[in-house]
């Protein structure tokens, strides 16, 4: 009996001393002491469209604090849609980020999406380069350090690291092996700028890379700017002025979930006219609200969808009669599918809902991008190639 107990004790000790190699997709607590840390602000940063900011990782310029409504300003301090692109041959990629809020999660959205970081790498796919998910950096406190991937061959790769969706960031650093190289990725073309509600903001994606704005950026291989403001995407005219300061390839207006039919009728056409006067040639995409998943059981929600869409269609028709061109339209019925399975609360998408959003947005954005580039070919087919 003593022999058996002795063998068992030895095996337990050996098991505890064994350090498994972290696998791709598994972020671990920081344990390597020979990492070199690089300020993310020195690399290529996408999704950050204004230079004069109160904080390095804000989404609006400092002057906006006195221009926009307080809820918009508060939400703009979240780093939704901001991503760091870099080239490195490091066998290990780590992240160290300091959050601005102790609220790491929400009742209907996990900490991995609210306050985590998300790592992707560019790889060769069956029909060309794709962005492939690698790991999520899970937050456990305001200050976090995580190894995202390790034990890789020392080959140069292009990386993409998304910042948190519903928390702010005071600082973020990329950790690489001591003797590895790191450099900013080459800056890309003009971004697609999305203005909208909590859905655009990213609620309720399980991780930052799963918001539809981020998915579309990867699929279309273009920079994106996320101007989603939770509860506050209300077609405020001052946002049109700020959007026009961005040299965009396409503007997307997706605000109906925060409006009703009367407000859409009053605000949609004036907003488009204002934006068009400041940016005469940039395509604008008007997006209907998603169909509430429980609208078939809730007459008030069905009525809100119906009245919002009627008002937006009327605004679209009026703008076309006025001669406003480069105007595109996306209907809302296709955004979530028809099985009721794509939200957490009938409104905010799950990852499934965001994938369906991306599927719906893809064709109209491709058409708008071609128009932005001066092309006149017919709209391309469904966009499922680069997930």
* 1-42 pLDDT per residue, tens: 444 444 444 334 333 333 334 444 545 555 556 899 999 999
Residue 304, pLDDT score: 98
- 206 and 165, same domain (yes or no): no
pLDDT of residue 375: 62
DSSP 150: -
Mean per-residue pLDDT, 334-347: 98
250/274 same-domain check: yes
- Model pTM score: 0.89
- Final residue in a domain of this structure, among 158, 184, 210: 184
Asked if residue 212 and residue 164 are part of one domain, the reply reads: no
Q: What is the CA radius of gyration of the chain?
A: 23
Q: Are residues 240 and 97 in the same domain?
A: no
Q: Which of 184, 215, 238 is the last residue of a domain?
A: 184
Instruction: Look at residues 150, 184, 218 and tell me which one is the last residue of a structural domain.
Output: 184
Same domain? For 136 and 256 the reply is no
Structural domain harbouring 121 = 28-47+82-184
Same domain as 360, residue 230? yes
Identify whether residues 167 and 122 lie together within a single domain: yes
Give me the pLDDT at residue 29, please.
Answer: 53
Indicate if the alpha-carbon torsion angle 284, 167, 116, 169 is positive or negative.
positive
User: Which of the 8 DSSP states describes residue 210?
Assistant: G
- Average of per-residue pLDDT across 141-155: 97
Question: How much is the average pLDDT of 162-170?
Answer: 98
Task: Report the CATH number that the domain containing residue 350 is assigned in CATH.
Answer: 3.40.50.1110
Alpha-carbon distances, residue 225 vs 46, 88, 315, 321, 322 (angstroms): 7, 24, 25, 30, 29
Are residues 196 and 339 both part of a single domain? yes
* Tens digit of each residue's pLDDT (9 = 90 or more) over 208-265: 999 999 999 999 999 999 999 999 999 999 999 999 999 999 999 999 999 999 999 9
pLDDT at 52 over 50: yes
């Amino acid at each position: 009996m003593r022999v058996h107990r002795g063998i068992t004790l030895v095996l337990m000790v050996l098991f505890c001393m064994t350090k498994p190699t972290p696998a791709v997709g598994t972020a671990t607590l920081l344990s390597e002491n020979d990492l070199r840390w690089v300020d993310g602000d020195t690399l290529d940063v996408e999704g950050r469209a204004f230079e004069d900011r109160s904080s390095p990782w804000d989404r609006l310029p400092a002057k906006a604090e006195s221009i926009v409504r307080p809820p918009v300003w508060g939400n703009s301090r979240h780093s939704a849609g901001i991503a760091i692109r870099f080239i490195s041959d490091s066998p290990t990629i780590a992240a160290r980020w300091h959050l601005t809020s102790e609220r790491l999660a929400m009742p209907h959205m996990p900490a991995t999406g609210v306050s985590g970081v998300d790592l992707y790498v560019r790889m060769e796919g069956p029909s060309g380069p794709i962005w492939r998910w690698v790991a999520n950096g899970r937050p456990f406190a305001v200050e976090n350090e995580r190894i995202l991937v390790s034990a890789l061959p020392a080959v140069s790769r292009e990386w993409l690291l998304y910042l948190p969706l519903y928390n702010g960031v005071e600082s973020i650093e990329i950790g690489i092996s001591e003797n590895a190289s790191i450099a900013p990725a080459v800056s890309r073309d003009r971004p697609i700028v999305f203005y909208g509600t909590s859905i655009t903001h990213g609620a309720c994606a399980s991780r930052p890379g799963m918001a539809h704005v981020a998915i579309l950026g990867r699929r279309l291989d273009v920079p994106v700017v996320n101007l989603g403001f939770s509860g506050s995407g209300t077609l405020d005219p001052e946002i049109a002025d700020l959007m026009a300061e961005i040299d965009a390839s396409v503007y997307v207006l997706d605000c109906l979930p925060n409006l009703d039919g009367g407000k859409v009728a009053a605000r949609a056409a004036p907003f488009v006219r204002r934006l068009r006067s400041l940016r005469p040639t940039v395509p604008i995409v008007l997006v209907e609200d998603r169909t509430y998943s429980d609208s078939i059981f809730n007459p008030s929600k069905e009525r809100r969808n119906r009245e919002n869409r009627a008002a937006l269609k009327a605004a679209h028709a009026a703008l076309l009669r006025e001669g406003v061109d480069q105007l595109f339209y996306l209907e809302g019925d296709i955004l979530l599918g028809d099985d009721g399975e794509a939200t957490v609360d009938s409104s905010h998408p799950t990852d499934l809902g965001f994938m369906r959003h991306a599927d719906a947005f893809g064709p109209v954005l491709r058409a708008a991008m071609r128009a932005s580039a001066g092309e006149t070919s017919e709209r391309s087919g469904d966009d499922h190639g680069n997930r």
